[in-house]
Amino acid sequence: MKKLATALLTILITACIVVGISVFIRTGRSELTDEHLSAAAETTYTVADSDSEIRAVWISFMELDMKKASDKSKQAFSAKIDKMFSDIAKSRFNTVFLHVRPNSDAFYYSGIFPHTSYLTGEQGKDPGYDALETACVTAKKYGLKIHAWVNPFRVSGDTDFSVLSEANPAVGMLKDESKENDSWVWQLKNGIYYNPTIPEIHSLIIDGIEEIIKNYDVDGIHIDDYFYPTDDESVDKEQYNEYLAKGGRLPLDEWRRTCINAFVSAAYSAIKSVDNKLVFSISPTADIDKDYGKYYADVVSWCSGEGYCDIIIPQIYFGFENESFPFAATAEKWSDMATCPSVKVVYGLSIYKSGVRDNYAGAGCDEWLENSDIISKQVQYVRDLKRYDGFSLYSYSYAWGGNVCDTSAEEINGLLKIVE
């Protein structure tokens, strides 16, 4: 097995204070003072060296949801984030993918997107504090890397436009009297989405990414598998016919992949133009055929060529006994496909399946019920592949939070034994 350099580094009190002050100066926001700095001054934490194995966890918007909380204050949110990051750091993880724009909304102060409804219950309502800024300071307190996770093209998981704020860019497009951009937003059975073939939509999303990396002390930008929301040929017929009329010859599927590649490449370039040290990561589904033929995500190019991403994180949410996608063979396929030396490979693992029946696994449907050491075995397996830079768990609440079951707790305990 590969020997991992796990030199521990002590995060000094003074470093926490310097980080907090530097962010305050850069953003000009007022909440980076007393409570964060005093908390940072009370405790010293140790985490894994950032140059070693990436040990990450996703925190989704559902886990950040404050709508049902009796206390929606800044103090309540700060306590929630502090608990999360403390759990993660104590388990010797070093990276967080934090969901800051799950839809056409924001968990931060944006000049482009309205405030998310998940902090107040109403999209566009100011919660009175900056959730992302609070998270950035707390991450530094615990010595964690923090990557801002955005869904590029999803406007809403709801199909009803009435839940959107008047400040939402999608609403403005729909109300444009010229009707020039009424095909820029799609209302589908599975939600509302921006049309990914439109260059102006690419610019909108990339402007939002630049807004984050210029105003917040994040270590990178992360996007997942929301690219094309449908393979229906009618949704982008207008744009495709226009492409053909101008002499284009690509078949529809190749043209759609070209549109997505153009967005991914432009996002990568925009991030690097602000700060070359910032990391751009993508987490596609592990089913390569589905990536290619349904979501029009050209993962082969992203893994083999430069200029698309720094890290690829396939969501290998399968057990070893899964009939269609056995973990070992699927992980090896991704390892073999990642031929670009500058693209790191981090393996997404499904802690959320611990202790439950996997109805899509065929004969292996009871694997997660009958075993409590699958995650640790998966980490040990991928560590020996020719391309390996770390792993990421989906998601926080199934590892340490409210969705933990006895089996997932045993999984985490087993994992801790091999990340010391």
338 and 300 in contact (C-beta within 8 Å)? Answer: no
Give the strand pairing for 54-59 and 95-101: parallel
What residues contact 41, with CB distance under 8 A and at least 6 apart? Answer: 13, 16, 17
226 and 155 in contact (C-beta within 8 Å)? Answer: no
What residues contact 69, with CB distance under 8 A and at least 6 apart? Answer: 76
Domains of the chain, by residue range, sit at 53-154+195-416, 155-194
Q: Which amino acid is at 21?
A: I
Pick the CATH number of 53-154+195-416 from 3.40.50.2000, 1.10.10.10, 3.20.20.80, 1.10.3720.10: 3.20.20.80
Could you give the CA distance from residue 189 to residue 76 in angstroms, rounded to a whole number?
35
pTM (predicted TM-score): 0.88
Q: H or E element: which one contains 56?
A: strand 54-59
Could you give the CA distance from residue 40 to residue 19 in angstroms, rounded to a whole number?
10
- What six digits make up the tokens of 52? 């070693």
DSSP codes joined into one string, 256-274: HHHHHHHHHHHHHHHHHHH
pLDDT in tens, the chain (420 residues): 443 333 333 333 333 333 333 333 233 333 333 333 233 334 333 343 445 899 999 999 999 999 999 999 999 999 999 999 999 999 999 999 999 999 999 999 999 999 999 999 999 999 999 999 999 999 999 999 999 999 999 999 999 888 999 999 999 898 775 556 779 999 999 999 999 999 999 999 999 999 999 999 999 999 998 899 999 999 999 999 999 999 999 999 999 999 999 999 999 999 999 999 999 999 999 999 999 999 999 999 999 999 999 999 999 999 999 999 999 999 999 999 999 999 999 999 999 999 999 999 999 999 999 999 999 999 999 999 999 999 999 999 999 999 999 999 999 999 999 997
